[in-house]
Structure 1
């Protein structure tokens, strides 16, 4: 008996007898365990995404094919009539034009202003932390609070804007800020810039502070001036941050709603209306839920197509090394 036990032990040590499952089985069990853990942690997020994102999108797409007032059964199927009506609606076409207007101003005015402020506050200035806090503070305020504040500022006859315009000799602007179709969109853009430029400024500041000082110092030693260092060193290294900031700015302009709704509700005479406001007006004011759903689907598709295009052709270089496979091998 002892000799047989010692022989068995010796065979186990030499690997003659397996002491556990074969390697393929162990690998399979380990893989199943990893996937089970991943599924367990992802399940709540997937359920929430399904209930609050995918399901509403599916309902909106379905509702857009019906003429429906929001109550009762959806039995009046009209096919693509709601979508065809959209592109014959001058108000909706104006919404598209106003969206492009806000996008153009955001890219050409708001972002350069935020970049200039970030470059200025990245220098050694006394009290620069206070300036950063003051410029970023408007972004912390909610859109509703900002809208109410500026509605009081642009109040005809009694607002601060009218008093300032009178002091500067610009009496023609008094009382017209939000009441005249020719001035309402520039006025709204000023409010948007005040509200959001601090966010982009902080993004640019983070990007500027991630640039190694040795690179700028080497360029300075090579004889590069301030503008040359900014043009040929800072801007290229800040490129990923600028592209992300531009993406957020465009998507925000496309989906703008609450700021404009509280200040003008799309008026006067639809001159400040956006696609999101049109969707709200038709869905909750005029009870044309099918038509409002069609607007929401078009708004979603515009945002989706732009996001995919931007990621594919603009952010491609920035994201090329962001995803690894095989645990980084």
Structure 2
């Protein structure tokens, strides 16, 4: 009997290994290998236009990187974008989820409409917002509206003071729909009896939100904050389509800087060193946030 049970457990273990092998292989092939390859090539001088001239240079790429003002500017832009867009987008998504969760008339239509940007290519959305941000009031809808209040015109994407903030607003609008659905799932997991009991005890809406909704969404907020943080640090498409990293490099992010060095200038080895540092920054930030939000 015991031998049969051990045989059954062994068979289950073997089946688990066989079933998980394709996923593990793909994970290794498309995640682990590129990471290791990036770290490896970061120690070489590798010009894409001269693939036969690959020279080992030790830590010279990293030495150059830490002296490169463009790298520090790109890092500063990425951090600035992340610090502003993450709380703004999370707060917007939570507010939308609360509105949708209220079960008012027509809410299902609103939910579908606000989630629709997630189903549209970011390239298309970026082009649309370039038109909306146009400084010409006759073609730019936003400046046309501001003109009625005798404001502007504002050159949103070509002014160093407004370019990154314009991208932040557009990105929060585009991404909040996805986080809204996650918050909505969390709200549906809070028992309605808690609100009924709090209402019977005389708690108002604000007190119910503070003492019931927020504690009930604690794990959901942590998850949404983490994924929004990682996505924010990977910002690329919006600056690439809308500003090309300008004006005055104010919207050039780390990922854009990697693309510029590797694909536009052909400095593949140097781009790999920037990518390795970028990977280290994102992992460190993720671990730090996880530690700070760890449930006691």
TM-score in same-fold range (> 0.5): yes
Structure 1 position 303, deviation (Å):
1.7
Q: TM-score, normalised by structure 2?
A: 0.93
User: 1:285 Cα deviation (Å)?
Assistant: 0.4
Is 1:41–2:19 an aligned residue pair?
A: yes
Which residue is equivalent to 2:167?
Answer: 188
* Mapped pair 1:267 → 2:235: no
**Matched residue, 1:164:** 145
Which residue of the other structure, out of 102, 115, 122, is the alignment partner of 2:94?
A: 115
2:217 to 227, 232, 238: 238
Contact 2:133 2:141 in 1 (8 A): yes
- Given the superposition, is the C-alpha separation of residues 59 and 122 from structure 1 closer, same or farther in structure 2, using an over 3 Å criterion? same
| 1:251-309 Cα shifts (integer Å, max 9, x gaps) | 01101112221111211221101111000000000010011001111111122222233
Aligned position for 1:137: 116
Contact between 2:90 and 2:225, CA under 8 Å: does it hold in 1? yes
TM-score normalised to structure 1 length: 0.84
- 8 Å Cα contact 2:43-2:59 kept in structure 1: yes
Query: Bigger relative contact order, structure 1 or 2, given CA contacts below 8 A and separation 6+?
Result: 2
Please state whether the residue corresponding to 2:150 is helix, strand or coil: coil
Distance 1:73 1:46 in 2: 33
Distance 2:9 2:178 in 1: 43
Change (3 A) 1:61 1:316: farther
Gaps of 5+ in 2: none
Aligned residue number for residue 105 of structure 1: 84
Which residue matches 1:124?
Answer: 103
The aligned residue for residue 204 of structure 2 is 225
Q: 1:311 aligns with which of 261, 265, 290?
A: 290
Corresponding residue for residue 86 of structure 1: 65
Distance 2:10 2:203 in 1: 58
Aligned match for 2:257, one of 273, 278, 296 = 278
Partner in structure 1 of residue 278 of structure 2:
299
Check if 1:58 corresponds to 2:36. Answer: yes
Return the alpha-carbon distance in structure 1 between the equivalents of residues 21 and 114 of structure 2. Answer: 40
CA contact (8 A) 2:89 2:173 kept: no
Of structures 1 and 2, the larger Rg is shown by: 1
Deviation at 1:121, TM superposition (A): 2.1
Look up the SS of the partner of 1:76 in the other structure. Answer: strand
User: Which residue pairs with 2:267 in the alignment?
Assistant: 288
The alpha-carbon deviation at position 222 of structure 1 amounts to 1.4
